[in-house]
Amino acid sequence: MKEVYHQSFPTMLIIIAIASGIASYEFFSNYGDSNSLVHLLLANLFLLVAIVCLKPLVEWRRIEIDDECIIISKRFFSPIVINISDSLYQVVMHNEDIRSFRFRCGEYYTQVSPAIYQNGNSLSMKLKDHIRKHKLCIEVVE
């Protein structure tokens, strides 16, 4: 049975991206009227902020886990199918809390951070159960 986990997207990033887009438009309009370099610099700064805030939405990760494999899909890229037992090599922890699981599959290195997914605790428990079930020896990094 496959379990699917979608990336959560904080509403604050959406609000910041929209506000930055509006500010960028306003400063570009003011630059057109006044030819002030300050308006141009501020417009570019707010445009950069909007792009950075929208990056997770454009990238949009989705994870499917079954008993042996994890499939990591991004919106504009082909999915990566990884055998969990063969590829999981490291767990990153902070104060007894799992921050991420790191996978190595051929030339691909990827990291799955349960905190950024909807039902991230369930994702973390599923991977922990897999480690226990298959008695994997994994490096733990703080």
- Whether 1 shows a pLDDT value over 80: the answer reads no
DSSP-derived 3-state class of residue 115? helix
**What's residue 27's pLDDT?**
96
pLDDT tens across 68-113, in order? 899 999 888 889 889 999 999 999 998 888 899 999 988 878 899 9
pLDDT band at 34 (very low <50, low <70, confident <90, very high): very high
pTM for the model stands at: 0.75
Q: Options 2.30.29.30, 3.90.1150.10, 2.60.120.10, 3.40.50.280; which CATH number does 61-141 get? A: 2.30.29.30
Residue 96, number of CB atoms within 10 A of its CB: 6
Q: Break the chain into its structural domains and give their ranges.
A: 9-59, 61-141
Question: Number of H helices and number of E strands within the chain?
Answer: 4, 8
What residues contact residue 119 under an 8 Å CB cut-off, 6+ apart? 5
Strands 108-112 and 139-141: unpaired
- Contact between 60 and 75 (Cβ < 8 Å): yes
Q: What is the pLDDT of residue 52?
A: 94
The reported pLDDT for the residue numbered 43 is 96
